[in-house]
Amino acid sequence: MEKTEKALWIELKNVVGAMKDITTTIAKHKGNICDIEQIGKKENVNLYLEVDKADDFDKLIKDLKKLSVIVNLTTVPSFANVFGKWVIVIGGGAQIAEVAKGAIAEADRHNIRGEKISVDTIPLVGEKEIAEAVRAVARLPRAKIVILAGALMGGEITEAVKEVQEQGIPVVSLNMAGSVPDAADLVVTDPVQAGVMAVMHIADTAKFTIDKQKGRKY
């Protein structure tokens, strides 16, 4: 299973220098911020932090609570621990619904055995819109695989596929018209099976791997 970092949920004052005070304190404790998200733009904002390698995590918490910019601080389970690995399905509504059916069913089977795998979908129309979504997958911290589900994809989408592959994210494609299937790591005709195989690839409790199937079509 993946390493789980310590996570902090912080309510802090929305003032200049607040982030600097927090990161400086974490650095003094030799902590490494693995993930960070800021939510809200009001007088106070919420900050989610995943911190790894702090020399004394309890002491770090005490020192953070002393900062005047922090209103409240609690420790929470990390997103990796709660939601785990992320499967992203992009494409046409009808096709991604079928892919999601297979992915969710397979994720359920592995999550019962201790995995944490979540499935997310976004129905989109348009070459530019889909290409932007594919590229964005590489910026999602827990995304492990992307499935493209549609009837026709190529052009800029194919370039986006190659870019995310270079960053270590495998791409599963339905057997469709266009150049995307030629660039994908695995092509599967049946959308339910595509979802199942994608989840099996990222699950530690499965023996299937796309690495041995690259370039093949089912």
For residue range 93-104, list pLDDT tens digits in order: 899 999 999 999
Strands 85-91 and 117-123: parallel
Q: pLDDT (tens digit, 0 to 9) for every residue of the chain, 218 residues total? A: 344 468 999 999 999 999 999 999 999 999 999 888 888 777 899 999 999 888 889 999 999 999 999 999 999 988 888 888 999 999 998 999 999 999 999 999 999 999 999 999 999 999 999 999 999 999 988 899 999 999 999 999 999 999 999 999 999 999 999 999 999 999 999 999 999 999 999 999 888 888 877 777 88
218 touches 187 (CB < 8 A): yes
- Alpha helices by DSSP H, listed for 51-190, are 57-65, 79-82, 93-111, 127-137, 156-166, 180-183
- CA–CA distance, 121 with 87 (Å, rounded to integer): 8
Task: Give CA–CA dist 192/122, Å, rounded.
Answer: 16
pTM here?
0.82
Domains of the chain, CATH where assigned: 6-80 (3.30.70.260), 83-212 (3.40.50.10550)
pLDDT tens, 102-147?
999 999 999 999 999 999 999 999 999 999 999 999 998 889 999 9
